[in-house]
A and B are shown apart, each in its own frame.
Chain A
Amino acid sequence: MSSPETITFMESAIKQATLALDALEVPVGVEFVVASCVIVEDGNVIASGRNRTTETRNATRHAEMEAIDVLLEQWQKNGLSMSEIAEKFSNCSLYVTCEPCIMCASALSILGIKEVFYGCPNDKFGGCGSILSLHLSNTMPLNNGVSPGKGFKSTGGIMAPEAILLLRTFYEQGNPNAPKPHRPLARQA
């Protein structure tokens, strides 16, 4: 069962996506799943993000990457060192509407985030158990002494119906930028 706190933060993550839908910026990249997220430290939302793949024409600008960039810039402006930033990330949790993709899950492992809560699983690109399990990085040092990836705790299925509803809203709308639409674009009635 999800705690009330988890639900609250997931609600704020979902709200980010609805805001994007309202603004008619399809909050989705290349026929990609809807994702928006918040990053939480000590019970406070400290950053949020949503996909900006369409407007940037950069398919790597997922919600997670957007929120991470906000924090990295802010913390360095505040004069934090790299080790202090690493320490900060290790106390942060991410709440995201959809399971982070392989790229984002790797990024979260590189940063050493503490925990990830997500809504619906991502059975095409998911990096937290669906396709790869990048949250379960091994703890044994590699044979050449290289520090291996840091794992993080990952919990899915938080408010999944709401997250799926968001997805459906997107799919009904269609993505006008995809080259060969897998789904026909919604016809103007």
Chain B
Amino acid sequence: MSNDFGTWQIVHIPDKEPHELHQQPTENVVCSVIDPKRANQIVRRLNQIAPLENHRHVKRIHKKILEGGKIQLSVILCLASEGDNQLDSLPPYIHEMISSYQLSPFIAKVCKYAATSKEEWQEQCKFWPTSYHPLTYKIDGITGFNEEDSKSVFKFMQSAIELASSDGLVVNAAVIVDPSAKQIISNARDQVFAWSTCEVDSDIDSSCIKKPGLFNSRSISTGFAPRESFHLNGSSNQLKQPFTSVSCLYPWQWAEQQSQSQSSYYCHPLRHAAIVAIESSAARDRRLFPSEGNIEERCLEFDHEKSWPSAPAKKQKTTCANVEDYDKLNSHSCTSDQPFERPYLCTGYDIYLVWEPCTMCAMALVHQRIRRIFYAFPNPNAGALGSVHRLQGEKSLNHHYAVFRVLVPEEGQHTLRKCYTEVAETEEINIC
């Protein structure tokens, strides 16, 4: 496995669709040209009486160099009111400013929202200068990605990609991770065409693996979809193949599949990788914490959750550091000072998916309270994290996760191909 993730990248997928580069929404402001000598005084006064509270990205002053090198400064007095006669309905304190500095107000346009990229920012400054701060991902208590965090993200994504292609047939794969302990909670491949009801319980064991990359994948030879090798177009980071076995990409195609010859395996059109991974994590929860949990225990958890944004990693690490395996946990030989706390559903957990989830899966992850979603490839057919819908931006939902895309470069392709070939060769040997 390659440990060099030099050209891998994490890209935040925002809650709102980015605006067309040349169609930045604007709004009107009341401005005036001012005497540069009095600029400091005027701006200080304006920041007191008419601060641009929700427009911190907009600069108060616009500097223009006129012909002959003369500098002209314009200042925003205030936001323009709605309606036709915007200059006639100014608040009294602005009128006061206008008369005391002999200003001549005019209407100008500024960009309504902060730029999300350098390109947007350059476009915005054509109207009126704005400031641009690249995202540091400090949203909803989510800390930024330092080198160690990034490496961990890449490793888990690589695990998901390996799992997706571990059976020759490329399907979607999901890996649920507790980031504070860097531990895999559960993982799953799509099981739309190969699901055995009797395997649900034994799944719990195989799906909880301490180290990424050691997947106990069940070898179910499905044999009705064409084999597809993982091929990545490194430069554009788009996949060329249709990958018709990926459930989230083609959720409606299950009905067109031929029946499975092995009678012990059921088909289930809704058993997409994320749904199966959620099921496994719930089964793990029931297994690790068999008691229903009374209200007093719950209260402890409330306190823990309250303190979570301020001191997340340390507290979690002390509780999880000694958790090596289930046997230890179950026999209460955990030597930690604090009792092991049961998470509420998947609160605090991340999920890695090779493809952007469909609407069903994305909403399932809202229900199960996943904290962050990482996916490698977009899903233009049915993706619900930006492609077709954007659930992370649906304000009415009771939970919001942060969404990131992991860009997998050509080096990743090499690993994938090697992995694919190895799997294919092993299978051939088995067949012989």
Determine if B282 and A57 form an interchain contact, defined as CB atoms under 8 angstroms apart: yes
Number of residue pairs A-B, CB distance < 8 angstroms: 133
Determine if A110 and B305 form an interchain contact, defined as CB atoms under 8 angstroms apart: no
Closest to B398 in A: A124
CA A82 to CA B389, docked complex, whole Å: 28
Residue numbers in B under 8 Å from A30 (CB-CB): 345, 367, 369, 398
CA A25 to CA B366, docked complex, whole Å: 23
Closest to A182 in B: B398
Instruction: Give the interface size bracket for A toward B.
Output: 35 or more
One digit per residue, 1 when the CB lies within 8 angstroms of any chain A CB and 0 when it does not, for chain B 253-267 equals 111111100000011
Determine if B270 and A131 form an interchain contact, defined as CB atoms under 8 angstroms apart: no
Instruction: Judge if A50 is at the interface, Cβ distance under 8 Å.
Output: no
Closest to B272 in A: A110
CA A69 to CA B200, docked complex, whole Å: 14
Q: Nearest Cβ distance between residue A148 and chain B, in whole angstroms? A: 7
Which of B44-52, B175-183, B230-238, B356-364 participates in binding chain A?
Answer: B356-364
Determine if A176 and B363 form an interchain contact, defined as CB atoms under 8 angstroms apart: no
Dominant secondary structure of chain A at its interface with chain B:
loop
One digit per residue, 1 when the CB lies within 8 angstroms of any chain A CB and 0 when it does not, for chain B 370-401 equals 00000000001110000001010010111000
Residue numbers in A under 8 Å from B269 (CB-CB): 72, 82, 110-111
Q: With A103-B363, A124-B398 given, is the CB distance from A56 to B270 under 8 Å?
A: no
Residue numbers in A under 8 Å from B293 (CB-CB): 177
Which of B51-106 touch A at CB < 8 Å? none
Q: Nearest Cβ distance between residue A157 and chain B, in whole angstroms? A: 19
Determine if A146 and B381 form an interchain contact, defined as CB atoms under 8 angstroms apart: yes
Footprint of A on B, CB under 8 Å?
197, 242, 250-259, 266-270, 275, 278-279, 282, 285-286, 293, 295, 298, 301-302, 305, 344-345, 347, 358-360, 363-364, 366-369, 380-382, 389, 391, 394, 396-398
User: What are 18 of the A-B contact pairs (CB < 8 Å)?
Assistant: A30-B369, A31-B398, A57-B345, A59-B364, A69-B268, A82-B269, A103-B367, A106-B363, A109-B252, A110-B270, A111-B269, A125-B363, A127-B359, A127-B363, A131-B394, A132-B394, A144-B242, A177-B293
